Structure formats: structure tokens, C-alpha cells
Structure 1
């Protein structure tokens, strides 16, 4: 198994990047939290998980060992494959996820895209005793609660437009919250894109 890759980030896309390792470009699937830490043209080292399927070999990469370990625990849950696990890591921070599981907070878990009530209940049953619990419910800050925040129409429209451009909810909601006083959807989108440097 490939434990990690280190090389130059040559391209960054919505849910994957290319890492150039001595002239060989590895397609590495990444969560939003890892994507935010990468910059094209710079060197990066990612912990990796190689998923072997009948029709493909897929490499998943993580900026921190913490996310890598949580990914492994998620894929050990029945019905959760690598893509769903990566989606969970894109929607909520590891600490917020542990807190939600530790406090058996179905509301938070079912707000994660692709996670229904039955899957959330399965996650709690199978992972409650396997992951550490950080803090208490009251300690979830605004950024960590992005998957459960109620938003107005302008925010919803801006979120939909930005995710259509390839960004994830976890990436854009902190920026949307910062510019919440924007007068229009167009202005809100413009301000968020400016924060991301137009990438």
C-alpha cells in the first residue's frame, strides 16, 4: 500500500488534485479541508489510502494523520465507502464529527450531505466507542456547525452557485458567514470568490 506521496501539486480540481512525483502525476482524491491547504506549484506531502476495485485503483489523500485515521474508521462502518467518507470529511471537521458521534447528535450527522437517519444511527452505534470525544455541544463554534446552520434565501442561492463551481459547503460557508450582510446574491458570490482569489 502507498503510505504517502510527496511531490509538487500541479493541478487542483473540485475533489482531487495531481501530485507530480518525479515526473509521474498521481491523481489523489481529497477532502475540502485538505484542498484548502494545497497550492499549485508548491510541494505537498499527503497520507494516502489506496482503494482497490475491480475496475479502478483510487488514491485518497489527507493532509493530516488525524483525518486519515478518521477516514479509516468511517470506511469500517457498514454502507460507507471511501467516497462517502471523503464527503463527510469535506462537510464537517474531525473534532465536530467526533463530538456529534460522542453526544449521539443525529441532527448534526443527518445534515451532512448523503447521510440519512439510518446511516447516522449506524455511525453512532459502530463508532461511538471507537473515537475520542472533544468538548461539549456548547463548544461547537459557528464554523464547525456549518452543516446545521439555517440560512436565508440569498445564502442558499450563493451556496448552490458556488458548489456548482466545484467548491464544497465546508469551504464556502465560513466565507459566506463573513459576508452575510451582502445586499444581493451576486454580491455575496463575488465577495466569496474574491476571498478564494478567483480560483
Structure 2
């Protein structure tokens, strides 16, 4: 299993990109939310899921661990494969999706391309217990990943890369809601983490 790829974006397509990792170009299929965070020539880290089929090995990538986790949840629903999962993540923010499932908002779910009434019902039935009643921590993390290039998303990514866990980072993001730069959030986080040791 390929957990993540880190490299330079050499090409960007509507639903995928090439990540150049030491001269090897990996085609990674991505949702729109991730694509908005990428730019040609920039270094990136994508959390990946390798879909093994008889005729192909397909790599799906996400700019945050939370998007990846939501994708894995979506593809655990019967009848939803990686392509549909990617389409759902492209059409709705993680926050709105979590809220829609928690509140059984079928009308919002059926507005997503490729999701009919039966699929929406299956999503709610199979995911409501896994997602719970829109856990506030999940919503905070999801909200941080919603805005393309938002400072919260960048800080989250940086702190995950430094080896901190989502559970450690969540309270810091909550405290840093008014922060105006990535550096400010990271300084606050490091101060918090050093105070605990």
C-alpha cells in the first residue's frame, strides 16, 4: 500500500495530476477540493489510496488525512466505488457532508451528482454510526480542509507532517481560529505541545 506520495506537481488535469517523485511520475486521481490546493511546479504531499483492479492499479490522492479518511468511509458504503467517492468529495465539503449524514439531510445528499435517493439512504444508514452526530472535532478538522489554501489547512498539513496527531492538533486549531498566518498557528501549536511535556 502506498500511504502517501511527496514530490513536485508536473502536470495538472481536470481530475488528476502527475506527481514527480525523484523522476518517476505518478498519476494520482484527485477531488476538486484537493486540485484547488495544487499548482504546477509546486512541492506537495498527497495521502493516497491504491485501488487494485484486474486491469489497472489506480492511485487516488488527497491533500489531507481527513479527506482520505472520508474517502475510505465513502467507499465502504455498498455500491460506492472510488470514482463515485471522488465525485462526492468534489461536489460537497467534508463539513457539509458530515452534517448532512448526521442530520439525515437526504435533499442535500441527492443534489450530489451520481447520488440518487437510494444511494443517499444507504450512505446515511451505513455511515451515521461511524460519523456520529457530526463530532465537533471532525467538523473543525474538515472545515480547516475546506478552503483552498486556507491558513488552517496549511497549518494542519504542516503539523501532520511534523508527526503530530489529529487529536493533538484539533484543540490548537480551535484556539487559533482567529490566527492570520500559518506561522502564528504553528508557533501556538509548538508552544502548546512543549508545555505538555
SS at match of 1:37: coil
Q: Is residue 70 from structure 1 mapped to residue 70 from structure 2 by the alignment? A: yes
1:9-88 superposed matches below 5 A: 9-88=9-88
More helix by share: 2
Per the normalisation by structure 2, the TM-score is 0.68
Which runs of at least 4 in structure 1 moved beyond 3 Å after TM superposition?
Answer: none
- Rounded Cα–Cα distance in structure 2 between residues aligned with 1:23 and 1:100: 42
The alignment's C-alpha RMSD in Å is 1.5
5 Å matches for 1:156-195?
none
**Whole-Å separation in 1 of the counterparts to 2:11 and 2:125:** 39
Distance 1:86 1:69, change over 3 A: same
The aligned counterpart of 1:115 is 115
- 2-structure distance, mates of 1:42, 1:103: 38
SS at match of 1:130: helix
Using structure 1 for the length normalisation, give the TM-score.
0.67
Q: Which runs of 5+ in 2 are unaligned?
A: 137-145, 147-197
Shift of 1:108: 0.3
1:98-126 per-position Cα deviation (integer Å, ceiling 9, x unaligned): 10000000000000000000000000000
Conserved 8 A contact 1:84-1:114:
yes
Distance 1:111 1:134 in 2: 23
What is the aligned partner in structure 2 of residue 96 from structure 1?
A: 96
Offset at 1:134? 5.4
Aligned length: 137
